[in-house]
């Protein structure tokens, strides 16, 4: 997980917009990965993801600046969401019950030279890490699609 995040950070830190966009795109889930996670809702979810991805690509400058604003990465702490008891309640507990058990779900705390922040929620399917924004809200979203 840490290696994947550091590669994304290199992309976001680049002076070249194309490299920042490519770094961002490499974090996005594919439709196939989304179908694996949410097979019954993928056709309703995917257009929303495409819309969100397009918005983020159009705003990659702001996103890259926000992510890298604290300087170089000093430390990355990976938190296994399935093993962490503090995530075993509420919507996150519901989410973990929905996602196939073999899918790794991690959150990060990224410490930089001048700041520290949560790095979001990351999933691992078939040798690839990817990020889903606001993943903990998905039980509620999926309920609306029923």
Global pTM value: 0.88
Question: What is residue 119's predicted lDDT score, i.e. its pLDDT?
Answer: 66
Question: What is residue 38's predicted lDDT score, i.e. its pLDDT?
Answer: 93
SS in 3 state form for the chain? CHHHHHHHHHHHHCCCHHHHHHHHHCCCCCHHHHHHHCCCCHHHHHHHHHHHHHHHHHCHHHHHHHHHCCCCEEEEEEEECCCCHHHCCHHHHHHHHHCCCCCEEEEEEEEECCCEEEEEEEEEECCEEEECCCHHHHHHHHHHCC
* Domain residue ranges in the chain: 2-144
Counting as low any pLDDT under 70, the low residues of the chain are 88, 119, 146
Question: What is residue 141's predicted lDDT score, i.e. its pLDDT?
Answer: 84
């Amino acid at each position: 997980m840490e290696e994947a995040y550091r590669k994304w950070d290199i992309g976001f830190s680049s002076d070249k917009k194309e490299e920042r966009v490519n770094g961002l795109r490499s974090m996005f889930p594919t439709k196939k990965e989304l179908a694996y996670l949410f097979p019954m809702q993928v056709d309703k979810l995917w257009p929303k993801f495409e819309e969100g991805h397009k918005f983020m690509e159009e705003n990659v400058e702001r996103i890259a600046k926000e992510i890298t604003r604290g300087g170089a990465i000093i430390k990355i702490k990976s938190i296994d969401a399935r093993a962490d008891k503090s995530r075993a309640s509420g919507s996150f507990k519901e989410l973990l019950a929905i996602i196939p058990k073999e899918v790794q779900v991690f959150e990060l705390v990224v410490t930089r030279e001048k700041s520290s922040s949560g790095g979001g929620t990351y999933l691992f399917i078939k040798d690839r890490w990817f990020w889903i924004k606001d993943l903990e809200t998905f039980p509620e979203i999926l309920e609306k699609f029923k």
